[in-house]
Amino acid sequence: MSSSWPTPGASTPPGATAWPARSRATPPRCHWPRTASGTTRRWPPRATSRATRGCSARPRGWSWRARSPWPAPQQAELRASLRKTAQDHLAESQRIAQAAAQDVTRASAHRALLQLRSPVDGTVHQLTVHTEGSAVPAAQALMQIVPASDRMQFEAFIENRDAGFVHAGDTVAVKIDVFDYTRYGTVPGRVLHVSRDAVHDDKRGLLFAVTVELARNQVMVEGKPVPISAGMSGSVDIRTGRRRVIEYVLSPLVQHREESLLER
């Protein structure tokens, strides 16, 4: 005997067994609430909400993870490619930063070379270049600086026959041409340095340069101090020893006696 499920609303034929009507239970659907912008809020579900009634809450420890459309080998290759690209960009950025730092260093050094700074405070003396924008060779002296706070120095020249008697530390008396020494006196000083080599002068022959430091930078004129300026000329008397007056009288006689007894 065959039996079949009766169709709802149909009559049962004679001789057939009537079975109760059954229907498949459909599980409740979970409708996640939507936000004002229209996107679906996935977490956390609220069990008390009417829209989510009958949905089980997500267990703790679960995380939503999107499923990648690429296989695992392709994902690893993509990560390696992105990592290499990032490293290349980082290396290029570091190279550009180092080049910029070197450019800044060169520019700063070039700017420092454009300015000449005197090691001491003073007055510019004897300019060798007077044209603005002119080119000068390397190691050429452009000017001389006369120190303002230090003592004045004189440069004198002595003849070859007197060079052996002048030494550093000898006392000197400087006679400045601007100030008559018979009225205003001389300026005391001392020898600082005697050159080791002679310079040739067309009129006086071989000369040795002597650097003299003055004890003061001014001369008293009519009771008022007058400063000694750079460029003033004068003469220097260097004291190399002492002689008695009788020696000055006998010196010509001794010289005449020594030379008169010589023959060719």
Taking the C-alpha atoms of residue 263 and residue 196, their distance in angstroms, rounded to an integer, is 36
pLDDT for residue 208 = 92
> Binning pLDDT at 50, 70 and 90, where does residue 255 land?
confident
As its CATH architecture, domain 147-240 has Beta Barrel (2.40)
- Count CB-CB contacts under 10 A for residue 166: 18
pLDDT for residue 94 = 95
| Cα 58 to the center of its chain, rounded Å | 64
Bridge partners, residue 237, by sequence:
173
Taking the C-alpha atoms of residue 209 and residue 223, their distance in angstroms, rounded to an integer, is 34
Output the pTM of the full model: 0.43
252 or 55: whose pLDDT is higher?
A: 252
